[in-house]
A and B are shown apart, each in its own frame.
Chain A
């Protein structure tokens, strides 16, 4: 028996392949199909005093802007309306609220995922 490499999230391997091929697909096929919402896996990590999410990995529509993710976490964590939330890429910079997940994944995605850190105060201002 070949050695069994236990990988987490193995059930997502198809999604990963799909995500990796998103670009090829959209270039190769001139179909309306590509307008369909493709999903990208994002992983959300808490930073500083921000509460941890029970579920860290989410599959989101690649056209979704960062502002929608912020709104989602804000709601999920039941933060007060006046509490702010900041999202960071590479623990370095905060993408603009209108930046879409697809662009970020294209540039900063690793192993089929886009990793985002969230904080309640400016963490890497």
Chain B
């Protein structure tokens, strides 16, 4: 675990430069654009307070209480996906930076996005994801043995972008428990380009004790069509 520390930090520090602009149909004036470097591992509602404040100056009074939402190239951004996942899905590796994101305060697409009226919703979603991952890794034993203050520390570590604070607790979630060789299952989610995702039980080794490879995992998640297309 200790050997991974540098890699963990590199991943944690991954950031994306984003160019925010206000949707043209929400304002009569030409508002200044807004640029921000945001962490891949975070969620949009946790890093866009400044964006909201900036653009609210340019929208009419009746939109002041509208819930802010964003799109990338016309596709609404799901706040409950990590920012890095959204970027990889919608822009991909050959995209030019900065990432162009359009900000809206009206016409909230209720059929596509979950409402996010406050950060408590994000916290509940984040903690639920952590718990789910622990159910897969340790039957939920580690996360349920933690105290409220540990949960808070994980959350605040993420919100305040504090690597050490987060990992001091997260370490426990990433280690095997005493009577277990490794993780029971590996929490994996496979996102498709349309924003849907698949989940399966992924054991770290086969029934005969052989360690499973990344290729095995990819095969598990491949559809027959894709497999056929590959050969």
Binding site for B on A (CB under 8 A): 26-27, 29-30, 89-90, 92-100, 103-104, 106-108, 122, 124-125
Some 23 contacts from A to B, beta carbons below 8 A apart, are A26-B224, A29-B224, A30-B225, A90-B135, A92-B140, A92-B144, A93-B129, A93-B131, A93-B135, A93-B140, A94-B124, A94-B128, A95-B132, A97-B114, A98-B114, A103-B198, A103-B199, A106-B199, A106-B200, A107-B136, A107-B200, A124-B131, A125-B127
The listed residue (A30, A96, A107, A108) touching B128 by CB distance below 8 A is A96
Q: Smallest CB-CB separation from B140: which chain A residue? A: A92
Tell me the smallest distance from the CB of B138 to a CB of chain A, in Å.
11
Q: Smallest CB-CB separation from B189: which chain A residue? A: A103
The 8 A CB mask of B123-147 against A (1 = contact, 0 = none) is: 0110111011001100010001000
Q: Which residues of B contact A125 (CB under 8 A)?
A: 124, 127
Give the interface SS of chain A, mostly helix, strand, loop or mixed. loop
Tell me the smallest distance from the CB of A4 to a CB of chain B, in Å.
33
Q: Which residues of A contact B201 (CB under 8 A)?
A: 106-107
B114 adjacent to A92 (CB under 8 Å): no
Give the interface SS of chain B, mostly helix, strand, loop or mixed. helix
Q: Smallest CB-CB separation from A122: which chain B residue? A: B124
A89 adjacent to B132 (CB under 8 Å): yes
The 8 A CB mask of B105-134 against A (1 = contact, 0 = none) is: 000000000100000000011011101100
Tell me the smallest distance from the CB of A120 to a CB of chain B, in Å.
15
A106 to B127, CA, bound (A): 21
Question: Does chain A have a CB within 8 A of B80?
Answer: yes
A99 to B198, CA, bound (A): 9
A95 adjacent to B128 (CB under 8 Å): yes
A93 adjacent to B200 (CB under 8 Å): no
Q: Which residues of B contact A90 (CB under 8 A)?
A: 135, 140
Tell me the smallest distance from the CB of B159 to a CB of chain A, in Å.
17
The listed residue (B124, B140, B197) touching A103 by CB distance below 8 A is B197
Q: A107-B136, A125-B127 are in contact. List 10 more A-B contacts (CB 8 A).
A: A30-B228, A90-B140, A92-B135, A96-B114, A98-B80, A98-B114, A100-B196, A103-B198, A107-B201, A125-B124
Q: Which residues of B contact A92 (CB under 8 A)?
A: 131-132, 135, 140, 144
Given A27-B224, A30-B228, A106-B199, A93 contacting B128 (CB threshold 8 A)? yes
Q: Which residues of A contact B185 (CB under 8 A)?
A: 107
Q: Which residues of A contact B200 (CB under 8 A)?
A: 103, 106-107
A97 to B225, CA, bound (A): 28
Q: Smallest CB-CB separation from A92: which chain B residue? A: B140
Q: Which residues of A contact B196 (CB under 8 A)?
A: 100
Q: Tell me the residues in window 96-112 of chain B with beta carbons closer than 8 Å to chain A beta carbons.
A: none
A90 to B128, CA, bound (A): 12
